[in-house]
Chain A
């Protein structure tokens, strides 16, 4: 068991890791083994920190020593901050202790770049390999890929991890060149692409008739990345285009958005008094629309409207720009069409489809299905009748939804309270991820 010195190290290396937004422990299908632990495809949240973000994995750095000097990063080489490093065995013990007490779902291991990318990657692999082979840990591992590491090492890492990620951080080539001049875009995209190709290849092999009985594990929960929001001038449109490209071409499972928090003083960085949490929230909403609702980036934003609305969510904004598509008749609209009705989500749409198979839907049924009508009411008819409290006119609906009624508390503040974890929790429970 690790002692007092470990307490200090843990503090330093957890605080250095906390800016990574990734929290998921879902999507893995690790087979049950004789070792310690299981994975759950829905993911499990184990606690929520004082900032309201979920804690699922033990999120730490191997070391916060770093040879790079990226402007936005708290661990950059020039910063005078306390430095520490764990040994592989220390990380294994900590993970096993926390896991068997059920504090965590697994390990999220990242690192500052020490000596060289290859050396760092080797150190990370050594640790997770030890965890899997000596401690026989069968729970969830999220491993960071180190930009610039040899591709063979990257593929080795994927054999031990449930998910891997390599953070793009800055959403354009220009911003990366300005704020992280030592990192090359290619050193991030190349490993991402190579892992994506291998995953796709494995998928194809699995589809074949003469597929092998067992296939070696290869990052079964796929890969993710993170973008920092608000440190550089990219618009929401640029960010959404990048995300859809990452989902389509790189076959990523998740893109995380992290509201920029100034940790360093540097003339190249903007001065922000509060992190752009609402913008981060809007990006997560839009991200959900890309992944689960069949929207494209160009539908949600265009050159004339390159930023998300402050007052209303991206889905209703799309609907208000396309009033001609509404109202839809709940008794005949296809699933894909229902999904585009503001206020109707994946579960509501499925419920409507299910009920329709046994009876014709009446307006009163909607409440029984727990469908929230606040936004939805303006966009559907039931048996030909429209139930909105104002006609389907974009300006009128916008007024209804944004101007507080007398006696109703404004919901503006609530917007800041709902961050991505809301949807994470919901999806985790319903298995929608």
Chain B
């Protein structure tokens, strides 16, 4: 049986889909090449990224399925779902049969799966647009560490490239050792290894203490409801939330508890 592999990029995956459909290859599974482990039963078929094939397949999906379906595919690609590639492939193939009606087949497993996962990724991205916290570094750059279930970094980078277009910023996906870097014009994603916490600017800790103060002042004590708070703000997101961390014991801007992972 054939296991198709690709280089791990979205374009690579689209190239792979295009190749499989054109050559009528029926992959048993689709795996990123670096994660593939050879075995006795299966045969690996690596499909190299072909940008023009990827682009024309992307256009085909947009026209035959819908822009919404393409967005679903991209969101699922960012997800931590195991076997996401083969799920995406089955959804795309089914879509080429149904055409524009694809997303109405809500009781079909192939569609329901993609919708559920896409919704999860979309929700996490939306949530992180609110929960991400930038810290001002002493070199003037803005730095935000994040820890997310899914790889929502590209969605965040796109959002903040418009919102904070006058700043140089870094969004650091700590567990994935990956960062989005923005230089006031465009952003790109790269692997980074961080060994020490970045130095904060003079004003950063003061700004954080103002925010913590505001955060505690705005709660109405007659309505205190920690269960409700955690329902909206699950504890797994607290690590880098300024308002959920105690203020550093002394003003020492070379150490920052929030950055250690």
A interface list, Cβ under 8 A from B: 1-3, 6-7, 10-11, 14-15, 17-19, 32, 34, 36-38, 40, 42, 44-56, 58-59, 94, 97-98, 100-103, 105, 139, 259, 261, 274-275, 277, 351, 354-355, 357-359, 364-365, 368-369, 416-419, 421, 425, 428-429
Identify 18 residue pairs between A and B in the complex whose beta-carbon atoms are under 8 Å apart, listed by A's number. Answer: A1-B207, A3-B206, A14-B213, A49-B215, A50-B216, A51-B221, A51-B225, A54-B232, A55-B215, A100-B167, A103-B133, A103-B242, A355-B106, A368-B106, A418-B228, A421-B228, A428-B126, A429-B122
Determine the main DSSP class of B at the interface with A: helix
A259 / chain B contacts, CB cutoff of 8 Å: 223
Contact A100 B104 (CB under 8 A): no
Q: Within the assembled complex, what's the spacing in Å between the Cα atoms of A11 and B209? A: 12
Q: Within the assembled complex, what's the spacing in Å between the Cα atoms of A49 and B241? A: 12
Contact B131 A14 (CB under 8 A): no
Contact B133 A102 (CB under 8 A): yes
Which B residues between 222 and 239 are near A, CB-CB below 8 angstroms? 222-229, 231-233
Residue of A nearest to B206 (CB): A1
Whether a CB of chain A sits under 8 angstroms from the CB of B164 is yes
Residue of B nearest to A55 (CB): B218
- The stretch among B72-80, B134-142, B185-193 that forms the contact with chain A is B134-142
B257 / chain A contacts, CB cutoff of 8 Å: none
Whether a CB of chain A sits under 8 angstroms from the CB of B67 is no
Given contacts A369-B106, A419-B228, 11 further A-B contacts (CB under 8 A): A11-B217, A14-B213, A36-B164, A37-B164, A51-B219, A97-B210, A102-B130, A103-B133, A358-B101, A368-B107, A429-B126
Contact A275 B164 (CB under 8 A): no
Q: Within the assembled complex, what's the spacing in Å between the Cα atoms of A261 and B220? A: 9
Indicate whether A51 sits within 8 Å of B123 (C-beta atoms), given known contacts A100-B142, A101-B136, A103-B211.
no
B60 / chain A contacts, CB cutoff of 8 Å: none
Whether a CB of chain A sits under 8 angstroms from the CB of B214 is yes
Q: Within the assembled complex, what's the spacing in Å between the Cα atoms of A54 and B209? A: 20
A15: contacting residue among B112, B133, B217, CB under 8 A: B217
A369 / chain B contacts, CB cutoff of 8 Å: 106-107
A54 / chain B contacts, CB cutoff of 8 Å: 232
Residue of A nearest to B162 (CB): A38
A2 / chain B contacts, CB cutoff of 8 Å: 210
Contact A1 B223 (CB under 8 A): no
A417 / chain B contacts, CB cutoff of 8 Å: 225, 227-228, 231
Which B residues between 104 and 141 are near A, CB-CB below 8 angstroms? 104-107, 112, 122-123, 126, 129-136
Residue of B nearest to A35 (CB): B166
Whether a CB of chain A sits under 8 angstroms from the CB of B18 is no
Q: Within the assembled complex, what's the spacing in Å between the Cα atoms of A36 and B104? A: 40
Q: Within the assembled complex, what's the spacing in Å between the Cα atoms of A50 and B126? A: 21
Whether a CB of chain A sits under 8 angstroms from the CB of B86 is no
Q: Within the assembled complex, what's the spacing in Å between the Cα atoms of A369 and B104? A: 11
A7 / chain B contacts, CB cutoff of 8 Å: 209-210, 213
Q: How far is the CB of A6 from chain B (nearest CB, A)?
A: 7
Residue of B nearest to A367 (CB): B107
A100 / chain B contacts, CB cutoff of 8 Å: 134, 142, 164, 167
Interface size on B, residues (CB 8 A): 57
Whether a CB of chain A sits under 8 angstroms from the CB of B35 is no
A51 / chain B contacts, CB cutoff of 8 Å: 219-221, 223-225, 228-229
Q: How far is the CB of B217 from chain A (nearest CB, A)?
A: 4
Indicate whether A365 sits within 8 Å of B107 (C-beta atoms), given known contacts A10-B213, A97-B207, A102-B133.
yes
B107 / chain A contacts, CB cutoff of 8 Å: 355, 359, 364-365, 368-369
Highest count of chain A CB atoms <10 Å: which of B98, B103, B123, B220: B220
B228 / chain A contacts, CB cutoff of 8 Å: 48, 51-52, 417-419, 421
Contact B224 A98 (CB under 8 A): no
Indicate whether A50 sits within 8 Å of B226 (C-beta atoms), given known contacts A354-B104, A359-B107.
yes
Q: How far is the CB of B147 from chain A (nearest CB, A)?
A: 16
A6 / chain B contacts, CB cutoff of 8 Å: 210
B243: contacting residue among A1, A47, A59, A277, CB under 8 A: A47
B131 / chain A contacts, CB cutoff of 8 Å: 46-47
Highest count of chain A CB atoms <10 Å: which of B129, B136, B203: B129
A97 / chain B contacts, CB cutoff of 8 Å: 203, 207, 210
Contact A277 B223 (CB under 8 A): yes
Indicate whether A102 sits within 8 Å of B132 (C-beta atoms), given known contacts A48-B229, A354-B106.
yes
Q: Within the assembled complex, what's the spacing in Å between the Cα atoms of A365 and B136? A: 51
A425 / chain B contacts, CB cutoff of 8 Å: 232
